Amino acid sequence: MSKKVGIIGGGIIGLCAAYYLLKDGHEVTVIDQSNMNSGASYVNAGYITPSHFIPLAAPGIITKGLKWMFDARSPFYVKPRLDIDFLKWSLAFKKAATKAKVEKAMQPLLNINLLGRDLYEDLKKSNDFNFHYQHKGLLMLYKSNKVGEEEWKIGKKGIQKGLKVEHLSNNEVEKLQPNTNLNIKGAVYYHSDAHMTPNIFMKEMISYLDKNGVVFYKNETVKDLHISSEKITSIKTDKREIAVDEVVLAAGSWSSHITKKLGLKIPIQAGKGYSINVKKDTNITIPAILCEAKVAVTPMEGFTRFAGTMEIAGINSTINPKRVDAIANAVKKYYENIAISTEEKEHATCGLRPCSPDGLPYIGKSNTCKNLTIATGHAMMGWSLGPATGKLVSEIIAEKKTSVAITVFHPDRKF
């Protein structure tokens, strides 16, 4: 049965939800507070990451976080602040960073990442799109034996879960990536991963949805949700009121502001990430992560993107030059022939990734509201999990069996 579905949020998650709901025959409206041409969905590393089956809240990250907390150049920077939501999130993060909880999360994260990759490949094969997509894997490049051992330990877990993973020497990496002058000890190579150029996909998806009847209300802020009998009957923005049968909340780092209107608290903190585009030829053809620096490297359509850092400092889009410099300096340490210029650094961009305390997304219907499907909290895997989440949202609204188990992603889970 066709329904009127209002989607709050026009990033990768919201657009993919719109796509699969449209395919199911629903009347879809997307509302976004921006012009839908910037933010995390446009400036991310473009990774599709079955390799990322370890959640952010992993054992040891608290110790590292305390060490890095007061260093604005560190890969994972938490700005201390007296904010009740942040303090509650931090406590929940600490509770989630246990071996038992990480073990429980790994298989569901792998499953949803594999689903996301398969759906991207289906979209690529369709006649609807012509976006940049390459399945070349991911190199975890390391400079120290200690980090190499840690990465290979994770790699062996991946092998146990059915992924193809290799441990490569410096010479073996050089054969895969000639003429890059890499200064490394070796790499762990995940063959499972793929990569894209995000802005190309976003533009194509918006164009497709627009041509096929999806209504977009850009630069509109959701002011209220009208409720009757535990259901949202309409969405009120600063410009209009939209009648709905179902609502999808995919507002990223802003999602918790909207759920508070329903008396529903889902812990989310904005994790700011930065990216620098380099248009000169770098000879890089396979995506990589510079392990010690936590910097992502992606060969995109017409440029190479260097992205990184996780900055938990509230909702703001301020560019911190120290963090941009940290990315540029890391690149020089690994790729000796690549120097990111002052001009390239000045054009650095940032985006806010919605982070849950346990590193798992929120996907599902809360018991608080019968017709609200929540789809947020994807942190650094938002791009990878876009189509998978969109597909799951359409299945939830249709009350079908979901493509993968989603119990661990339930928005009402306790921390």
Residue 224: inside a domain, yes or no? yes
Q: Do the bridges between strand 4-8 and strand 246-249 make them parallel or antiparallel, or are there none, so unpaired?
A: parallel
* Close Cβ partners of 305 (under 8 Å, ≥ 6 residues apart): 45, 46, 275, 276, 277, 278, 296, 297, 298
Contact 236, 76 (CB under 8 A): no
The total number of structural domains that make up the chain: 1
In a domain, 414, yes or no: no
91 contact partners, CB below 8 Å, separation of at least 6: none
Lookup result for tokens 């990451």: 49
Nearest to 358 by CA among 130, 177, 103: 103
**Residue 61 pLDDT exceeds 70:** no
319 part of a folded domain: yes
Residue 333 falls inside a structural domain:
yes
Q: What is the pLDDT of residue 302?
A: 96
For residue 271, the cross-strand partners are: 312, 353
Q: For position 82, what pLDDT does the model report?
A: 82
> In Å, how far are 40, 114, 159 from 343, measured between CA atoms?
22, 38, 42
> pLDDT grade, residue 368 (50/70/90)?
very high
Residue 69 has pLDDT above 90, yes or no: no
- Which tops the pLDDT comparison, 59 or 375? 375
Report the phi/psi class of residue 126: left, alpha or beta, with left for phi > 0 and alpha for psi in -120 to 50.
beta
pLDDT range class, residue 56, cuts 50, 70, 90: confident
In a domain, 194, yes or no: yes
The alpha carbon dihedral of 147, 153, 156, 158 has a sign of negative
Q: What residue numbers bound the domain in which 148 lies?
A: 4-409
pLDDT per position as a tens digit, 34-43: 999 999 999 9
User: Is the confidence at residue 160, as pLDDT, over 70?
Assistant: yes
Question: CA-to-CA distance for 380 and 274, rounded, in angstroms?
Answer: 12
404 pLDDT exceeds 80?
A: yes
State the average pLDDT over residues 375-385.
97
Nearest to 394 by CA among 4, 31, 9, 16: 16
314 has a pLDDT exceeding 90 = no
Residue 102 domain-assigned (yes or no): yes
Residue 200 has pLDDT above 80, yes or no: yes
80 pLDDT above the threshold of 90: no
Q: E strand or H helix at 247, and its extent?
A: strand 246-249
**31 pairs with which residues across the strands?**
8, 217
Average pLDDT of the chain is: 94
Mean pLDDT confidence for 247-260: 95
Say how many residues make up the chain.
415
% of the chain surpassing 70 pLDDT: 97
Q: What CATH number corresponds to the domain at position 321?
A: 3.50.50.60
Q: What pLDDT, on the 0 to 100 scale, is given for residue 75?
A: 74
Digit-coded pLDDT (tens) for 102-155 = 999 999 999 999 999 999 999 999 999 999 999 999 999 999 999 999 999 999
Distance CA 169, CA 152 (A): 12
Residue 177 pLDDT > 80, yes or no? yes
Can you give the pLDDT at residue 72? 67
Q: Is the dihedral of CA 51, 56, 58, 64 positive or negative?
A: positive
pTM (2 d.p.): 0.95
